[in-house]
């Protein structure tokens, strides 16, 4: 099995030992002042497609060759917040090849966007993916039961980063005719909602046209059917697993984000929650489009406890208040 993120310092940058072997160890570091600027896009020659402890997989431009790369740390710019790994899936990088399969990354472009959350272990950022065009927020209509909390958080994160969001409801074959569709309200406020079912092929063509030509990342709770959707779209047989009958939840089958070779689709592991990073409590209301046309009594209403606030009547108001409370408490 491929090594996965372990959550310790070894997952951060290359170790002393590795750096020495690339000629930038303790002594080399003193002699040469490292150039740590971001690359301009023309300098990049590959894209990170998967990240492991201490190394990552890079797809070289113009070819379908993949390289297992380490990092020349002294050359890489330092992010404003400590990150779990020096690069993320989607990062544009410059790498030097050693033979046909190995390489070392010595430069990275500044990201045009990223989906990131606080890493649970320390004051760190976990960048799920970078430089994407479309976030497919996947939620099942049943098994596991549809809950809007994570959908709302992903919608805020995407809008804050200028990433187009699409909500994809899965397992429509399990939907009981005449039942309530709590996800309809997202369509009412202007988001794109696509209903799909891999059993029966419902909505797959709509999804296919929504993602066409866009670097798309599939995110959501475990067990909602992200990998199954990719299998249905691509005719692949990537590993999926049944939702647990005892907990009603997924089993965290996909264990790391990766770009599927030859496609523009990124599968990710199911997440329980998605903490918001870099979003100010003051700005949160901007990401609820339904608040835009409200005529609250306060001209610049924060939609908190103001007299005559009209937001209170809206379906997503409780969700807004929960997110606002956690941002105000500094909990993300
Ligand atoms: N009935 C039905 N079952 C589905 C559908 N899509 C996925 N499933 C089932 O749901 C279970 C979970 O699917 P996965 O594709 O592994 O879910 P995932 O979102 O990738 O889960 P993680 O990798 O754990 O995050 C599997 O048993 C699938 O067969 C669907 O459209 N209809
Ligand atoms: Mg999966
Ligand atoms: Zn208001």
Query: Percentage of the chain surpassing pLDDT 90?
Result: 77
- What pLDDT does residue 123 have? 65
Rounded-to-integer distance, Cα 159 and Cα 288, Å = 10
pLDDT band at 148 (very low <50, low <70, confident <90, very high): very high
Alpha-carbon distance of 272 to 221, in angstroms, equals: 6
Cα separation, 229 vs 235, whole angstroms: 10
* Ligand number nearest to the C-alpha of 237: 1
Q: What percent of the chain has pLDDT over 70?
A: 88
Residue 122 pLDDT exceeds 50: yes
If you take atom 6 of ligand 1, which residue's CA is the nearest one?
A: 225
Residue nearest to atom 21 of ligand 1 (CA): 223
Listed in sequence order, the residues at least 6 apart from 89 whose beta carbon sits closer than 8 Å to its beta carbon are 48, 49, 50, 51, 128, 129, 130, 257, 258, 259, 266
Q: Say if ligand 1 is within 6 A of residue 236 CB.
A: no
Q: Using a 6 Å cutoff on CB, does residue 171 contact ligand 1? A: yes
| Contacts of residue 107, Cβ cutoff 8 Å, sequence gap at least 6 | 38, 39, 43, 44, 75, 76, 93, 94
**Across 302-316, average pLDDT:** 96
Name the least confident of 214-223, 288-297, 311-320, 323-332: 323-332
Indicate the pairing of strand 55-60 with strand 46-52. Answer: antiparallel
Domains of the chain: 9-111 (2.40.50.140), 132-267 (3.40.50.300), 281-328 (no CATH)
Q: Ligand 1: does its nearest atom lie under 6 Å from the Cβ of 243?
A: yes
For ligand 1, atom 13: residue with the closest CA: 225
Residue-averaged pLDDT of the chain = 89
Tell me the per-residue pLDDT of 255-297, one tens digit each, with 9 for 90 and over: 999 999 899 999 999 999 999 998 999 999 999 999 998 999 9
Q: What is the mean pLDDT of residues 119-128?
A: 79
**pLDDT tens column, 36-82:** 899 999 999 999 999 998 999 999 998 779 999 999 988 999 888 88
Q: At what angle do helices 148-160 and 317-328 cross, to 10 degrees?
A: 60
Residue where the block lists tokens 């209170």: 312
Confidence of residue 35 (pLDDT cuts 50, 70, 90): low
What does the pLDDT average to over 161-179? Answer: 96
DSSP 121-158: TTTEEEEEEES-SEEEEEEESTTTTP-HHHHHHHHHHH
Spacing, Cα 227 to ligand 2 middle (Å)? 4
Closest-lying ligand 1 atom to the alpha carbon of residue 240: 16
Distance 303 CA to ligand 3 centre (A): 4
**CA dihedral of 60, 63, 65, 68, whole degrees rounded to 10:** 0
Strands (E), 187-276: 192-195, 216-219, 258-259, 265-267
The token duo for 219 is 């995110």
Closest CA to ligand 1's atom 10? 225
Q: Is the CB of 198 under 6 A from ligand 1?
A: yes
**How far apart are alpha carbons 172 and 44 in whole angstroms?**
42
Ligand 1 pocket, mutate which of 201, 237, 240, 255 (most atoms under 8 A from CB): 240
Structure pTM? 0.90
């Amino acid at each position: 099995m491929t090594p996965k993120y372990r959550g310790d310092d070894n997952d951060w940058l290359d170790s002393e030992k590795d750096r020495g072997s690339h000629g930038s160890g303790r002594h080399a570091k003193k002699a040469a002042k490292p150039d740590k600027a971001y690359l301009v896009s023309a300098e990049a020659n590959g894209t990170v497609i998967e990240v492991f402890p201490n190394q990552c997989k890079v797809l070289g431009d113009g070819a379908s060759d993949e390289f297992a790369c380490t990092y020349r740390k002294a050359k890489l710019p330092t992010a404003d917040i400590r990150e779990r790994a020096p690069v993320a899936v989607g990062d544009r990088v410059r790498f030097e090849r050693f033979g046909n399969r190995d390489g070392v990354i010595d430069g990275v472009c500044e990201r045009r966007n990223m989906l990131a959350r606080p890493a649970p272990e320390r004051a760190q950022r976990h960048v799920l993916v970078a430089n994407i065009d479309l976030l497919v927020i996947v939620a099942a209509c049943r098994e596991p039961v549809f809950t809007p909390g994570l959908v709302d958080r992903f919608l805020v994160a995407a809008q804050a980063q200028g990433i187009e969001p699409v909500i994809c409801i899965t397992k429509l074959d399990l939907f009981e005719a005449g039942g309530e569709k709590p996800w309809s309200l997202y369509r009412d406020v202007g988001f794109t909602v696509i209903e799909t079912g891999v059993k029966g092929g419902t909505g797959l063509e709509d999804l296919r046209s929504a993602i066409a030509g866009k670097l798309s990342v599939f995110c959501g709770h475990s067990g909602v059917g992200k990998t199954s959707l990719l299998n249905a779209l691509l005719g692949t047989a990537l590993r999926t697993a049944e939702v647990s009958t005892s907990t009603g939840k997924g089993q965290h089958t996909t264990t790391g984000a990766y770009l599927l070779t030859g496609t523009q689709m990124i599968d990710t592991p199911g997440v329980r929650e998605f903490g918001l990073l870099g979003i100010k409590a003051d700005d949160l209301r901007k990401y609820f489009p339904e608040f835009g046309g409200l005529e609250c009594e306060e001209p610049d209403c924060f939609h908190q406890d103001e007299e005559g606030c009209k937001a209170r009547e809206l379906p997503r108001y409780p969700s807004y208040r929960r997110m606002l409370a956690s941002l105000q408490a500094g909990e993300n």
